[in-house]
Amino acid sequence: MENLKLWQQSPQHWCITGKEQSNLKQSMTLQESVNLVALTKYLKHLEDKYAEIKQAMLKKYVPVQRKAELDEEMIVTLKRRDLAENLNKELQFRFNDLMSLGEYEKAACFAANSPRRILQNIGTVNKFKAVGKIRGKPFPLLLFFETIFSTSHACRRPIDAELTLEGIKCGLSEKRLDLVINWVTQERLTFSEELGDVICDYGEQDTYNKAKCLALAQMIYSDCGLHKKALLCLCKQGQIHAAMEYIQQFKDFTYDDLMQLIKLCPHTELIQCLTREWNGKPPSLSFGLAILHLFSVDMKKVGIKLLQEISKGGKGIVEHLMINDPFFSLENWQEMANICLQNGFDKLSHDIMSILRSQAGVTEISEEDDTVNLMEHVFW
């Protein structure tokens, strides 16, 4: 506070340093002192300096009365700090005393209910971890998290991300998914990507509860704005229509994002929905490119399953796909026909080639004929 420059209410008590005075000086020759243009320029210089000093005064100087107010505020703040430090010491002493006596359940409840969450921190968690489990008694660490999460709705601020993650890990390690579901859905925790990942990983191990874990993770990812992971959770749950609505809602999924999605979750229904019109909007993906992609990334079984579905629809469905797929070129369809032929879909291969030949100006090109322009049909 002593560094603040003070000024009285009266302007007469303001002062400027020698440096500030020197900044005001601007030498003028005798000729300039009788020149109207030079005098006008000098006047402008003085006005600018006056404005500069006035602005600096507002930033650098405070009234004496304001200094007294700030001193009072500082004294009050220091008293609060001292009280908080003393309270912290008392609580730490009481908590450590309970821990040393082996009163772990009481210590867990005491720490969880500490005023202003003073003992709700990673240091406390580590002390309970060091104790471990006690035969015939509730797990103290789990009891601690049960208490802080069950009372979190009464606090203004949610439990921080670090404690949230530790609590969820603890609940899952004890196979208490019921507690985890309750904690997450009460929405008084701080969600994070790592939290969603932990729940997803648990679902992969506990297949019976996998759907519940995916639903929890999807809620967490959505809340964190991690839309790609949220969408994947929906697809893994088999909620394809909900996933399509999610795609339409956020509209920030790229072509590569969706191709990666079908690689991670190769559901036939999902691929069919992505490659068809949805609510009057054009397909999100090219069916042909999706098939080629599946065969290129060693997902042949999924590709064959899709080809089986298409072959059931007959030539009309194939023709509709070919005509309404702006992303798939003539060369791509020829490659598709070859893939069909190689995998036993002779009729589908024949239908594709037949439709290609029926298009005006399209000529079948042999692999040996390098002189033919593939785009010739466009110009003639």
Q: 102: which strand partners?
A: none
Asked if residue 374 lies in contact with residue 331, where contact means CB atoms within 8 angstroms, the answer is yes
Identify residue 195 by its one-letter amino acid code.
Answer: L
Q: For residue 18, is it within any domain?
A: yes
Question: CA–CA separation, 66 vs 297, rounded Å?
Answer: 71
Number of domains in the chain: 2
DSSP 74-136: HHHHHHHHHHHHHHHHHHHHHHHHHHHTT-HHHHHHHHHT-GGGTT-SHHHHHHHHHH---TT
Mean pLDDT for the stretch of residues 357-375? 53
pLDDT above 50 (res 259)? yes
pLDDT above 90 (res 236)? yes
Q: For residue 136, is it within any domain?
A: no
pLDDT above 70 (res 216)? yes
Q: According to the model, what pLDDT value does residue 158 have?
A: 83
Provide the 3-class DSSP secondary structure of residue 189. Answer: strand
Question: CA–CA separation, 199 vs 216, rounded Å?
Answer: 7
Question: CA–CA separation, 118 vs 95, rounded Å?
Answer: 11
Torsion sign across C-alpha atoms 159, 163, 166, 170: negative
Cα within 13 Å of Cα(247), Cβ side: 26
Q: How far apart are the first and last CA of the chain?
A: 86
Domain final position from 98, 130, 151: 98
Global pTM value: 0.69
Question: CA–CA separation, 349 vs 319, rounded Å?
Answer: 12
Domain final position from 98, 115, 140: 98
Asked if residue 115 lies in contact with residue 92, where contact means CB atoms within 8 angstroms, the answer is no
Asked if residue 274 lies in contact with residue 317, where contact means CB atoms within 8 angstroms, the answer is no
pLDDT above 70 (res 374)? no
Mean pLDDT for the stretch of residues 254-258? 89
Question: CA–CA separation, 81 vs 270, rounded Å?
Answer: 59
Give me 114's structure tokens.
Answer: 């500490």
Q: For residue 73, is it within any domain?
A: yes
- The H helix count followed by the E strand count for the chain is 20, 2
Q: Report pLDDT digits (tens) over 312-353.
A: 777 777 777 777 776 777 787 888 888 888 888 888 888 888
C-alpha distances (whole Å) from 141 to each of 75, 104, 177, 323 are 39, 9, 16, 63
Q: Report pLDDT digits (tens) over 242-253.
A: 999 999 888 778
Rounded to 10 deg, the angle between the 161-173 and 140-150 helix axes is: 130
Question: CA–CA separation, 307 vs 352, rounded Å?
Answer: 12
Domain final position from 98, 118, 142: 98
Q: For residue 283, is it within any domain?
A: no
Q: 288: which strand partners?
A: none
Question: CA–CA separation, 272 vs 294, rounded Å?
Answer: 13
C-alpha distances (whole Å) from 262 to each of 17, 228, 268 are 73, 12, 9
| Distance from chain centroid for Cα 46 | 54
Q: For residue 147, is it within any domain?
A: no
Q: According to the model, what pLDDT value does residue 187 have?
A: 67
Provide the 3-class DSSP secondary structure of residue 206. Answer: coil
Q: For residue 314, is it within any domain?
A: yes
Q: For residue 379, is it within any domain?
A: yes
Asked if residue 149 lies in contact with residue 165, where contact means CB atoms within 8 angstroms, the answer is no
| Distance from chain centroid for Cα 160 | 16
Torsion sign across C-alpha atoms 362, 365, 370, 374: positive
Q: According to the model, what pLDDT value does residue 244 have?
A: 92
Asked if residue 143 lies in contact with residue 105, where contact means CB atoms within 8 angstroms, the answer is yes
DSSP 14: -
User: Residue 93's domain spans which residues?
Assistant: 1-25+35-98
Look at the block and give the residue holding tokens 């009891």: 143
pLDDT band at 10, cuts 50/70/90?
very low
Q: For residue 248, is it within any domain?
A: no
